[in-house]
Amino acid sequence: PPLPTGEYEVFLSFRGGDTRHQIAEFLSLFLKNRGIRAFIDDNHQYHGDEIGPSLAKSIEQSKIYIPILSENYANSKWCLKELAKMVECQERDQRHVIYDIPFSTWWNLRM
C-alpha cells in the first residue's frame, strides 16, 4: 500500500545556525521548483521536551527524510529527536527513506 499522502513529501532536518541560509534554503527551493512539497522549519520554535504533534505528523507522512548533518547537528536535542522519529518511522515501514547529507561534503563541492 502507498504511504499516507500528507502535506509534505520530503522532511528536511537541519541545525538552523549551521545550514539554514546555505543548503537548507537552497534544497527547499530546489524541491519546490520541481513540484516536490518539502517541510522546512521556518518558525524554529519548540516547546517542552517532546516533538509536537504537527511536527511528528509531518515526519510520519513524509516519504523521504533528509537530515543535513552539519558540525553542530548532534548538539541539538531537537535535531536528534527529529532523527530518532525518522528512524522509528523507517523501521516501522521500509518505504520511508533517509538520505543524509554531510554538510561538509556539500560545502566542499560548492568551493
Cα 85–chain centre separation: 11
| Cα angle, residue 64 at apex, residues 108 and 21 outer, rounded to 5° | 40
Is-catalytic flag, 7? Answer: no
- What phi, psi does 12 have (nearest 5°)? -95, 125
> Which one is catalytic: 9, 50, 82, 91?
82
DSSP designation for 75? G
Q: Which residues are catalytic?
A: 82
